[in-house]
Amino acid sequence: MATFEFILVGGGTAGCVLAARLSEDPSTRVLLLEAGAAEPSAGMADPLAWPRLAGTSVDWNYATVPQRGTDNAVISWPRGKVLGGSSGINGMMHIRGDRAGYDAWAATGASDWNYNTMLPFLKRSEASEAGDPAYRGKDGPMRVGPGPAGDPLWEACFEAATEAGHSRNDDGNGNGKTAEGTSWNDMNVVDGRRQSSADAYLGATAGRPNLTVVTKAHARRLILDGGICHGVEYRVGGETRTAFADREVILTAGAIGSPELLMLSGIGPARHLRDLGIDVRADLPGVGGNLQDHPKSQIAYTATRTVRTGRYARKPHVLLRGDPAAAPDLQMIFIDLPVHPRWVPGPEDGYSVIFSLMTPASRGTVRLASADPTRAPLIDPNYLANPADVSRMIAGLRAAREVGGAHALADLRDQELFPGPDVEPGASDTAAHAYLRRTVTSYFHPVGTCALGRGQLAVVDPELRVRGIECLRVADASVMPTLVSGNTNAAVLAIAERAAALVTGEETVPA
C-alpha cells in the first residue's frame, strides 16, 4: 500500500499537465497511473507517420457499436494508450476553436466557464513565437507554430479556400474576436518531431522525487467509503495494487476511460449499474451520457501529378458557418491523398478536402459491457441522429466541393473521385445524405461524458468535483458540456491547467 496527496488516473494530455503542475510543490506527493507504455513506439515522433499509429500498441483500438445514422457501420475510435495519450498519436493540430464554443459552456449553468476565463489557461499551456501576447502564450510548455512554408499543395489549398470566399485569418488561435476564416494550422511539432503532452510537461519533471509514474497500470475501481474517495485499485504486471490519496483522486482518463472507471466503481446511472450487478454508490445519471464527437467526411480528388512531398510543412484549415446566423460550425482541413469511404487511404495520387461538423446536436453514450474491467466499453456516438446534423454536414459537403474545385487547384486537380457523378453539384439532399451515411467517420474528438454544469445531468460541479462524492474530481475532455469548434487537444490542455489552479487554490470559481 502506498499513500500520496494526489492520485491521477490516466497519463494522457490532462494527466501529464496535472502531474507536472501538482508536483511543482516538492512537499506534494503525486502518483500518475497510465495503462499504456512509458516509451513511445517507433514512428510516433515523425509528424508524417500519425495515420499509421491507429491499431498499434499505442492505441486502445476502440470501436463503436453499429451506427444507425451511418448504415450501421462499426466505426474505429483510436485513443492513445501511452504516456501522452492521444497527443502521442493524433494529427498534432493545435487549434483552439472559436470563442463561441467556450462561451456555450456557460449555458450549462457554470457561468464562470467561458472564453474569457479559459483564455489565461489556453495561454499558459503554449509557447508561440508569433501572435498578439494578449491572446497567445509565450512561455508555456507546448511550443506551437505553423511549420515551414513552401509545399505547393498546401499553398494551393490555402488560396483555394480564400478564392471560395473564406477570408484570411492571420491567427485563428490568437484573434480574440473570431477564429472564422482560413488560417495556417498551429502544430505541436518541435524541430521536426512530434511534441506530445508527455514530452512537454513530464520532460520538465525528470528527477522530481515526489512524482511517481506507473505505466502499464490498468485502474480497476475507485476505493470508496461512505461517499468519500480514498484511492484506486489497479493492476500492473499481473499484480493487484492499491494506492491511497490523502487529498484527492483526479480522473484524467478521457471521455471513455473516466466515465468507465466511475461506473465500474458504482458511480453512474443506477439502473445500468444494477443491471450489471454493480452496487450503486452514487446515482449520477449523467455519467457516460452526453457523448459528442465531430463527425467528418470528405471530397476526394485524383491529381495530375504526385502531390505527396514527404516533408513536414505548414497546412491550412478553414472555419466557417453552415448557418450564417449561427456561430462557426464547420471545419475543413486537407489531406495529401484521396480518402476513400470510411477513412481508407486510396492508392491514387491525389488530395482530399475533409469537412467536419464542429457543433453536432446528436448525443450518444458510453456504457459498460459488463462489470469486468478488462472488457471494452460500449461506445455509441449516435452519429447523424439529429436531422440538423445531416443538413449542416450537407452544407459542409457543398462548401468543401467549392474549395476542392477552385481555380487555385486547377493545375493539380485531375477529377473528383468521391462523391463523384452520383452526387452532382446541386444534387438533392437525398443523394448527399446517402453519401454521408456511407462515409462519415470519427474526427477522434470525443467529449462530454462527465459533463460540467449545475443541472441534474451534470457530473462535475464548477470546481470539477464529482457530485455526491468527496475527494474526487474529473479533469479531461469528458467535462466539456459541449464541443469546441477546434481540435480538442488545445482545449484539454487548458482544462487541465485550470484544474491544477483549482486544486492548488490558485483559482476558485463562484459557488
280-329 pLDDT, tens digit each: 999 999 999 999 999 999 999 999 999 987 889 999 999 999 988 889 99
CA angle, 128 as apex, 142 and 490 as ends, to 5°?
A: 50
- Does residue 8 contact residue 18 with C-beta atoms inside 8 Å? yes
- For 263-306, give the DSSP string: HHTTEE-HHHHHHTTPPPSEE-TTTT-SBB--EEEEEEEEESS-
Cell 474528438 belongs to residue: 445
CA angle, 362 as apex, 358 and 367 as ends, to 5°?
A: 115
d(CA 504, CA 490): 22
Share of the chain above pLDDT 70, in %: 99
Which element (helix H / strand E) includes 401?
helix 387-404
d(CA 4, CA 25): 13
The secondary structure of the chain in percent helix, strand, coil, rounded to multiples of 5, reads: 25, 25, 45
Backbone φ and ψ for 464, nearest 5 degrees, come out as: 70, 20
Closest CA to 94 of 161, 158, 204, 190: 190
166-182 pLDDT, tens digit each: 999 999 999 889 999 99
Could you give the residue numbers annotated as active site?
A: 445
Residues contacting 298, CB < 8 A, separation 6+: 335, 339, 352, 353, 354, 355, 400, 418, 439
SS (H, E, C) 39-61: CCCCCCCCCCCHHHCCCCCCECC
331-363 pLDDT, tens digit each: 999 999 999 999 999 999 999 999 999 999 999
451 secondary structure, DSSP code = -
Q: Which pLDDT score is estimated for 62? A: 97
**Coil, helix or strand at residue 179:** coil
45-74 pLDDT, tens digit each: 999 999 999 999 999 999 999 999 999 999
Evaluate if residue 260 carries a pLDDT over 90.
yes
User: Does the domain at residues 50-76+146-192+292-442 carry the CATH identifier 3.30.560.10?
Assistant: yes
**Which three cell numbers mark 433?**
445524405
Of residues 205 and 381, the one with the higher pLDDT is 381
Q: What is the mean pLDDT of residues 498-506?
A: 96
Evaluate if residue 510 carries a pLDDT over 80.
no
204 secondary structure, DSSP code = G
The binding site for substrate comprises: 443
Q: Which pLDDT score is estimated for 425? A: 67
Q: Which pLDDT score is estimated for 108? A: 82
pLDDT band at 500 (very low <50, low <70, confident <90, very high): very high
The binding site comprises: 82, 443
- Burial readout 182-220 (b: 16 or more C-beta within 10 A, e: otherwise): bbbbbbbbbeeebbbbbbbbbeebeebebbbbbbebebb
Q: Which pLDDT score is estimated for 144? A: 97
Closest CA to 268 of 77, 466, 105: 466
This prediction has a pTM of 0.97
The binding site for FAD comprises: 82
Evaluate if residue 508 carries a pLDDT over 70.
yes
387-396 pLDDT, tens digit each: 999 999 999 9
Evaluate if residue 511 carries a pLDDT over 70.
no
- Burial readout 83-108 (b: 16 or more C-beta within 10 A, e: otherwise): bbbbbbbbbbbbbbbbbbbbbbbbeb
92 secondary structure, DSSP code = -
- Does residue 213 contact residue 83 with C-beta atoms inside 8 Å? yes
CA angle, 356 as apex, 57 and 402 as ends, to 5°?
A: 130
**Which three cell numbers mark 235?**
493492476
75-105 pLDDT, tens digit each: 999 999 999 999 999 999 999 999 999 999 9
For the structural domain made of 1-42+77-145+193-289+446-511, what CATH number should be given? 3.50.50.60
Q: Domain segments of the chain: what residues?
A: 1-42+77-145+193-289+446-511, 50-76+146-192+292-442
> What mean pLDDT value characterizes the chain?
95
Residues contacting 327, CB < 8 A, separation 6+: 98, 100, 101, 104, 321, 359, 485
Q: Which pLDDT score is estimated for 323? A: 84
Q: Which pLDDT score is estimated for 204? A: 87
